Amino acid sequence: MLYDQLFVSMERARWDLSRDIDFDAIEPARLTPRWIDTVREVCAFQLASLRASEMFLGGFRTDVDFCSFVSVWFYEEMEHHLVLRKYLEHLGEALEETELPRLRVSPDEAPAIDALTLRFFGEQRLAQRYAALAATVPERVLGRIFTILAAGEGRHAAAYATYLRRAVERHPAALPGVLRLGLWTMRGADEPAADTGRAPAPLREDRHYIRRMQGLYRLLAPDATIVVEEELPALRPAAAGAL
Ligand SMILES: [Fe+2]
């Protein structure tokens, strides 16, 4: 089972909330109210793993391997939530337990493989966001926390990639749907228009997206031949829509 190796590798990379974060060294004067709002927002956002775990355990109920992995992922996401909640407590900005249900972000229900795909991209986006926050935050302890969180989300993305690849190996017919969802995610749409009936979101200019799509294709179907290697066509919505 993939879980067996992932458990060990994630255990080796684990950090210690009590030992690795020096909460007494926090310098509150370095933080603006906007930074404190950001910490509150990220702390609340981590609660999205509550609903996501529920969906995964239901949607993948026959996949004991993946459900076992969800236990580790859920633990680590809640540790992210806890470290930020403790940070806020040290600032005198504690989140009350009674506030938490209202702050819970609950992702919409999605078919199992779509949920896996969105999670894979979501973890990458979070890793990038936390790394950017770590690079710009003026307070050293918070910088360390965001650095740890970014590394954790990066590991999660890698773990989800292994399950996504296995899902495509088992169900090759799912590959076009996974790639389509990946394309929409990379190009800035919140949701695929086909699922919402709404007009597509404006395309974000990203001249690297074709290479990123090739990378995703290689990841999911490593034995397939990539036809376009060097001469990349210009970004054309019609061509992208036909993917
Ligand atoms: Fe994560």
Give the model's pLDDT for residue 53.
92
Q: How many whole angstroms from 83 Cα to the centroid of ligand 1?
A: 14
Collect residues with CB below 5 Å from ion ligand 1: 123, 153, 156
Q: Could you give the residue range(s) of every CATH 1.10.620.20 domain in the chain?
A: 2-170
In sequence order, what DSSP letters do the residues of the chain get, joined into one string?
Answer: -HHHHHHHHHHHT---HHHH--GGG--GGG--HHHHHHHHHHHHHTTHHHHHHHHHHHHTTT-HHHHHHHHHHHHHHHHHHHHHHHHHHHHT-PPPGGGHHHH---PPP--HHHHHHHHHHHHHHHHHHHHHHHHH-SSHHHHHHHHHHHHHHHHHHHHHHHHHHHHHHH-GGGHHHHHHHHHHHHTT-SS-HHHH-SPPPPPPP-TTHHHHHHHHHHHH-TTSPPS-SS-PPP--HHHHHT-
Those residues of the chain that have pLDDT short of 50 are: 189-198, 226-243
Give the model's pLDDT for residue 237.
43
Q: How many whole angstroms from 228 Cα to the centroid of ligand 1?
A: 32
Q: How many whole angstroms from 126 Cα to the centroid of ligand 1?
A: 7
Give the model's pLDDT for residue 184.
79
Q: How many whole angstroms from 49 Cα to the centroid of ligand 1?
A: 8
pTM of the model: 0.80
Q: How many whole angstroms from 76 Cα to the centroid of ligand 1?
A: 7
Give the model's pLDDT for residue 40.
94
Q: How many whole angstroms from 202 Cα to the centroid of ligand 1?
A: 27
Q: How many whole angstroms from 124 Cα to the centroid of ligand 1?
A: 8
Q: How many whole angstroms from 214 Cα to the centroid of ligand 1?
A: 24
Q: How many whole angstroms from 13 Cα to the centroid of ligand 1?
A: 14
Give the model's pLDDT for residue 102.
79
Give the model's pLDDT for residue 110.
67
Q: How many whole angstroms from 115 Cα to the centroid of ligand 1?
A: 14
Q: How many whole angstroms from 123 Cα to the centroid of ligand 1?
A: 5
Fold type of domain 2-170: Ribonucleotide Reductase, subunit A (1.10.620)
